[in-house]
Structure 1
Amino acid sequence: MNYKKYKKFQSIKLKERTWPDKEIEKAPIWCSVDLRDGNQALINPMSVDEKIKMFNLLVEIGFKEIEVGFPSASQIEFDFLRRLVDYNLIPDGVKIQVLTQVRPHLIKRTFEALEGVKEAILHIYNSTSILQRDVVFNMSKEEIKDIAVEGTKLVKEYTKSFNGKVYLEYSPESFTGTEVDYALEVCEAVLDTWGASEDEKVIINLPSTVEMDTPNVFADQIEWMSSNFTNRERVILSVHPHNDRGTGVAAAELSMLAGADRVEGTLFGNGERTGNVDVINLACNMFSHGIDPNLKLDNINKIIDVYEKCCKIPVHIRHPYAGELVFTAFSGSHQDAINKGMKKYMERNNQYWEVPYLPIDPSDLGREYEALVRINSQSGKGGVAFVLESHYGYKMPKTMHKEFGDIIQEITEKVGEISPKVIMDKFTEEYLEANEPFKLIKFKVEDNDSLENDGDNTTINVTFSYNGKEQNVVAQGNGPINSLKNALVKSKLVETIILDYAEHSLGVGSEAKAAAYVEMKRLDNSKTTFGVGVDNNITIASIKAVFSAINRLYR
C-alpha cells in the first residue's frame, strides 16, 4: 500500500475550542435533500410520480424544509416542481428549497419554476476549495468570490418581482477543502450583498462535500466559522455532511455542538458516493437520549417501504434503528439478557427504557418484539425459551431451558437459522405428542374429603396401554400427579421419582388452556427429563405431562 501517495489536509488549528464540553439539547432545523442530492445519486432517478410519493412521505415525517430539486437542470425537475405547485401539494409551513448555479439563464428558469410558491429557499453555490480553484476553475480567490457575489445580486434582483417569500441559502461548496478564513470572507461578502440582518437571515450552508478528516476537525471548522461571523445573528448556520470516511453522523453531531443550527441530510444516508448524513440515524440518536427529534418516526416500516420503492435501494439489514436485524439477537448471552431485561422493564413499569443490548424500544419505531430473538447455532437456551414464550405463551421452567435448547441447537447446527414455527413444531413433537410406548386411555381421580387426613388422600384409577397392551391400575397418593406416578410404579413398568412441577395459563379468561410441566427421574440410570401437557382442565394437563415425561424417559 503506497500510503505516501496521500497527505492530510491541514485546514485549521483551533486552540480554544468549546464544543467538547457541550451537549446536544435540541433537534436542529432539518432539511431533507432526498429529492435533489439523494435523487441525483440513484442509478435510476425517480419519476415524477415517485418524487410525489417521496415528497408526501417527507411531509408526513415532519420536514419543514425540503429541497425538491434543480429545476433549471432538466425538464423532469422543472415539471415536478410545477406539479407540486399546480396541484397545491405544498402544505402551509413547508418551505420548498431549490438549487441553482449562479448563471443568469439558470436563475431565471428557477424563478419560473417557483411561480406560485408561497415560501422558497433559493440555494446557490460555487466551489471555493484550494483544489478546485486550481484544477477545475483556474481562478484566483477574488474571482471565485465574485462568482458568489454576482449570483447573490442576481437572486436579489429577481426577488423584487416575485410574489412569494424567498430566503437565500449560500454554500461554499467543498468547504472542508477551503481555508476557513477565505470561506468566511466569501460568506461575509454574500451576507453583505444580500443585506442580511437579524430579521432577514441568510442560510450559510457549510458542506463537507467530500469528508476529508475526522469529525472533530469538522467541528473545529464549524466552531471557527460560527465564532468569527461579523454578526452571527444574521446567519442560520447549516451543515451538509457527506460520509466519505464513514463518519457523517458523528460529524453532524459534533458540528451541532460547535454551533450548527441546521442539518441537511437524507433518509438512510442515500447520496453521492458513500452518501449524505443519515437523518434517520441522527434523529434516533437524539431520541434515544430523551431529546425530541421533531420528526415522526414511529412507523419506520412505512418509511422503509416508500424509500425502497422510490429509490430502488434496500435498507441494509444492519442499518442503525431501521435494519431488519438491528433489534435481533442470535447470541445466547444477548438473548438471555434481553429476555430478563424485558421482563424487569415490564414488571417495574419503569419511566425510562433500560434493556440490555437495546438502546431504544423497538415499539417506539413501530417495530415488533417478535424479531428481537432469532435462533441459530449461536443461540442459547434463553433465546429458545424467549421465542416460545413471546410467540406461543409457553413459560418453560428454568431447569427445562437447557434440555429443549440442546434439542434446537442440534437442528440449527445442521440447517442454520430456524423460525419460531419450527421451534414450536419441535416442541410439540418432543413433548406434546410424546405418546409412545405409554398411551393414556382414561383415568378417574377421587379425593378423600376429610381435612384431617393429610397423607395419601387421592385415589387414581388409570387405564393406559404399554406397547399396545392395555393395563388398568389403581393407586393412592397425595395428589393426582403423585397418585399417577405411584400407579405407574405399581405396574412395575417404570421406576421413577418426580423432581419438579410447574403450571401456568396459556392466555386469559375462563376458556384459556393450562400448560403443565413435570420433571421426572429414572432410578435405574438416573436419567432426567421433562414432560409437558396442555388441556383446558389443569388436572388433565398434569396427567398428560406425566405421560409425556415417562415416554421421553422410556422411549
Structure 2
Amino acid sequence: MPMLKRPWEKYAPFIGPDLPDRQWPSRRIEKAPRWLTTDLRDGNQSLARPMTIEQKMAYFEMLVNLGYKEIEISIPTASSTEYGFTRKLIETPSAVPDDSLRGANKAIISLYFASSPVWLATVFKMTEQQVRNKVTEAVSYVKSITKDDPETRGTTWNLMFSPEAFSASDLDYCLQLCEAVKAIWEPSIEVPMILNLPATVESSTPNIYADQVEIFSRSISDREKVCVSLHVHNDRGCAVAAAELGLLAGAERVEGCLFGNGERSGNVDLVTLALNLYTQGVDPGVDFSDISSLRAVVEELTQIQVHPRAPYVGELIFAAYSGAHQDAIRKGLLQYELDPGKYQNLWKVPYLPLDPEDLGSSRSDIIRLNSQSGKGGVSWTLAHELHVKLPEMLEYQFSKVVKATSEAAGGTLSSTNVAELFLKHYRISQQDPRIVMAELKRTGHPVCHDQVLIEGTNDPSKLTEAMIRIKIHALLYIGGKQQRLHGEGRNASSALIGALKGASLGKFTFHISRCALDPPQRDLTTFIVVECQSADHSRSGWGDLCEPEQDVF
C-alpha cells in the first residue's frame, strides 16, 4: 500500500493546550536533573533476547559505577528471570551500594495507568471515572502494605505515579488523577512523591510537550511535595529536545536509557542528555570518561549496535573526512593547544562541540583521509605521524596523491598509510633510482679568534658555522640522461641550490626547505624539500633530498 495522497483523511494534527504566558522559552538548564535509568526494565523489555540474570547484574554494576542513583530494575511479574534478578539484588550483600542509600533503606514503588482516551476506549474499555477508581484503589492498597505497615517502618517508602500516555491525554483529567493519588499517599517536603509525565508515544512537537509540562507543574497543588518527572520516547525523533524543554518547563527528573534503547524508536538517550549539559558547562553527575568501553559493554549485553553517527558516542562522531572541515578543525586544535589561555582555556574548536579526550578518545584520530580530504587533513596527519611541517604547496600536491590513492583503494587511508605513502612517494624511505651517486662533504678553514691554527692541532668544536663549507657532488638521471651536479654553500640547502642552478635544466627557480623527521627513516633525521618552479611561475614540481648525519648518502 503506497503512502496516501491525502494523509489528512487518515491522520489528524495534534492540537496542544493554549499557554500564551509560557515561561520555559526564557529559562536555562543550570543543573542536572535527577536521572533514572530504565535500561533494565523498559530497555530490557524491548530486546529480542532479554538479558539473563547474570547479564542484568553486570549491567546494574556498570550503571552504579557510572554514578546513577536511581535504577529501575524490573517488573518482577514479567518473567521468572525478572523475579529472580530482583530477589538477587535484594538478597546479595552490598549489591546496592550504601552511598546511594544515604544510610537508610529506600524504595520507590512505581504505579502507572494509561490516561489517554485511546487507551481507555480501546485497551481498557473503561470510563474516566472507572479508571480513577482503579487508580485510587491501587494506591490505597500499596500504601497499606508499605508506608502504613508497622512492619516496614525501617524503609523509607516513596511512590511514583505515571498517567501513561500523558502527552496524548486530557491535561485536566491527568491533573485530577494525580491530585487523587497525592491525597491518598500524603507526601512530604522531605520525601516528595514522583509524578511522572510520559510521552509514551511521541505525538507532537517538543514545544507542545513543554507547554503540557509547564501547565501541569504550575497547576498541581503542594508543588514542594512533588517531583515532576519525564519519561519521553523517541517516535518522532525529538525525545532529547522534548526532555530538555520539559526540564525548562519545570520538571526535575528524567527517565531514559543509555544510547536511547527502548520500545520502538527507543527511550530518550540519557548519554546525549547528560553530555548536552556537559558541553554547556553543567556537571551531569555521571561519568562517561571511557565512552568506547561503555559502548562495547552495552552492545554486547543488548546485542544492539550503537549507530556510528550517534551523538557523542558513535564510532564516527569525531571523524572528519571533508577537506574544509579538516582544515578548520586543524586550525582550531592548533590554536587551542598552542595558546590555551587566550580564551580562558574554553573549548572553541570548529565542528567539535566537545573535546574527544574528555570521553577517553584521541584528538589524533579525528582527521581521516579519503578522496574527500584536502591539504589540511594531510598536514595534520603528517604532523602527528612524522612531526613534519611541509610547505603549503607541497601539502596541496601530496593531497592529490592521497586522493588518488584513496579512490583506487576504494576507502579510507589510515594515518600510518598516509605517512608511508609520503615517505615512499617522495623516496625518503627508499633509494631514489634516479640518483646514481650523491656525495656531501664538509670543508673549511679551521680559524679561531682570527688566527690560523697549526695543521694537526685543529679543534673542530671551535669552528663556527660561517667557517664551514658544504660541497655536493651528484650523478643523476634527468630526462632519461645522466647529468653531474656540483654545488657549494654554507649548508646543505645552499649547496643544493648552487648545484641545481648549475645544471642544464632550462629556466627554473628553485626553493629549498628543510624538514625534521620523527621518527627517523633509515637513520635519516632531516630531509630537504625542493620546489622547482617554471620561469613564469605557472608550474611547480617537488622533490625531496635526504640529509643524513653522515657525509655520504
Q: TM-score, normalised by structure 2?
A: 0.87
Seen in structure 2, the aligned counterparts of structure 1 residues 177 and 461 have a Cα distance that, compared at 3 Å, is closer
Indicate the larger mover: 440-449 or 336-345. Answer: 440-449
Cα deviation per residue 1:370-390 (whole Å; 9 max; x = unaligned)?
A: 321111211111112212212
User: Pick from 351, 359, 364: which aligns with 1:365?
Assistant: 359
* Offset, 1:438: 1.5
User: Pick from 22, 47, 61: which aligns with 2:27?
Assistant: 22
Cα deviation per residue 1:136-157 (whole Å; 9 max; x = unaligned)?
A: 1111111111121111111111
Give the 5 Å matches for 1:255-404: 255-350=246-341, 351-404=345-398
* Offset, 1:486: 2.8
CA contact (8 A) 1:394 1:515 kept: no
CA contact (8 A) 1:11 1:176 kept: no
DSSP-derived class of the 1:218 partner: helix
The code of the aligned residue for 2:471 comes to I
CA distance in 2, matches of 1:495, 1:449: 37
* Offset, 1:443: 2.5
* Offset, 1:86: 2.4
* Offset, 1:336: 0.4
DSSP-derived class of the 1:435 partner: coil
CA distance in 1, matches of 2:509, 2:138: 91
Seen in structure 2, the aligned counterparts of structure 1 residues 536 and 55 have a Cα distance that, compared at 3 Å, is farther
Indicate the larger mover: 208-217 or 369-378. Answer: 369-378
Indicate the larger mover: 527-536 or 65-74. Answer: 527-536
Matched, 1:416 2:415: no
DSSP-derived class of the 2:371 partner: coil
Equivalent residue number for residue 513 of structure 1: 525
Seen in structure 2, the aligned counterparts of structure 1 residues 184 and 473 have a Cα distance that, compared at 3 Å, is closer
Equivalent residue number for residue 158 of structure 1: 145
CA distance in 2, matches of 1:242, 1:84: 28
User: Pick from 415, 419, 422: which aligns with 1:427?
Assistant: 422
CA distance in 2, matches of 1:346, 1:239: 40
* Offset, 1:516: 3.8
Matched, 1:142 2:129: yes
The code of the aligned residue for 2:62 comes to L
DSSP-derived class of the 1:237 partner: strand
CA distance in 1, matches of 2:271, 2:431: 50
Matched, 1:180 2:174: no
Equivalent residue number for residue 461 of structure 2: none
CA distance in 1, matches of 2:466, 2:312: 59
CA distance in 2, matches of 1:494, 1:84: 85
CA distance in 1, matches of 2:101, 2:546: 61
Seen in structure 2, the aligned counterparts of structure 1 residues 487 and 20 have a Cα distance that, compared at 3 Å, is closer
Matched, 1:58 2:63: yes
Equivalent residue number for residue 7 of structure 2: 3
The code of the aligned residue for 1:389 comes to A
* Offset, 1:274: 0.4
CA contact (8 A) 2:472 2:488 kept: no
The code of the aligned residue for 1:185 comes to Q
The code of the aligned residue for 1:186 comes to L
* Offset, 1:61: 0.8
Matched, 1:442 2:454: no
Cα deviation per residue 1:408-448 (whole Å; 9 max; x = unaligned)?
A: 11122332322222212211111113612124443212245
* Offset, 1:472: 7.3
CA contact (8 A) 1:463 1:470 kept: no
CA contact (8 A) 2:493 2:514 kept: no
Seen in structure 2, the aligned counterparts of structure 1 residues 7 and 418 have a Cα distance that, compared at 3 Å, is same
Q: In angstroms, what is the RMSD of aligned CA positions?
A: 2.9
* Offset, 1:329: 1.0
* Offset, 1:504: 3.5
DSSP-derived class of the 2:19 partner: coil
CA distance in 2, matches of 1:295, 1:217: 29
The code of the aligned residue for 1:92 comes to D
Cα deviation per residue 1:352-386 (whole Å; 9 max; x = unaligned)?
A: 00000001101111111232111121111111221
CA contact (8 A) 1:393 1:506 kept: yes
Q: Percent identity?
A: 37
Equivalent residue number for residue 454 of structure 2: none
The code of the aligned residue for 1:446 comes to T
The code of the aligned residue for 1:281 comes to T
Seen in structure 2, the aligned counterparts of structure 1 residues 255 and 480 have a Cα distance that, compared at 3 Å, is same
Equivalent residue number for residue 101 of structure 1: none
The code of the aligned residue for 1:503 comes to C
CA contact (8 A) 1:39 1:45 kept: yes
Seen in structure 2, the aligned counterparts of structure 1 residues 466 and 177 have a Cα distance that, compared at 3 Å, is closer
* Offset, 1:182: 0.7
* Offset, 1:489: 5.2
User: Pick from 103, 122, 131: which aligns with 2:109?
Assistant: 122
Equivalent residue number for residue 217 of structure 1: 208
The code of the aligned residue for 2:50 comes to P
The code of the aligned residue for 1:406 comes to K
Seen in structure 2, the aligned counterparts of structure 1 residues 478 and 456 have a Cα distance that, compared at 3 Å, is farther
Seen in structure 2, the aligned counterparts of structure 1 residues 353 and 297 have a Cα distance that, compared at 3 Å, is same
CA distance in 2, matches of 1:150, 1:123: 15
* Offset, 1:340: 0.6
The code of the aligned residue for 1:300 comes to I
Seen in structure 2, the aligned counterparts of structure 1 residues 186 and 454 have a Cα distance that, compared at 3 Å, is closer
* Offset, 1:212: 0.6
CA distance in 1, matches of 2:298, 2:184: 39
CA distance in 2, matches of 1:24, 1:434: 62
Cα deviation per residue 1:45-95 (whole Å; 9 max; x = unaligned)?
A: 111111111111111111000000111221100111222222221112436
CA contact (8 A) 2:369 2:377 kept: yes
Q: Unpaired segments of 5 or more residues in structure 2?
A: 451-463
Matched, 1:501 2:513: yes
CA distance in 2, matches of 1:515, 1:256: 59
Equivalent residue number for residue 81 of structure 2: 76
The code of the aligned residue for 2:357 comes to S
Q: TM-score, normalised by structure 1?
A: 0.87
CA contact (8 A) 2:442 2:468 kept: no
CA distance in 2, matches of 1:179, 1:314: 37
DSSP-derived class of the 1:249 partner: helix
DSSP-derived class of the 1:297 partner: coil
Indicate the larger mover: 163-172 or 176-185. Answer: 163-172
CA distance in 1, matches of 2:438, 2:465: 29
Seen in structure 2, the aligned counterparts of structure 1 residues 470 and 376 have a Cα distance that, compared at 3 Å, is closer
CA distance in 2, matches of 1:45, 1:337: 45
Equivalent residue number for residue 100 of structure 2: 94
Q: Unpaired segments of 5 or more residues in structure 1?
A: 97-116, 545-555
CA distance in 2, matches of 1:403, 1:328: 23
Aligned residues: 519
Cα deviation per residue 1:116-152 (whole Å; 9 max; x = unaligned)?
A: x932211111111111111111111111111211111
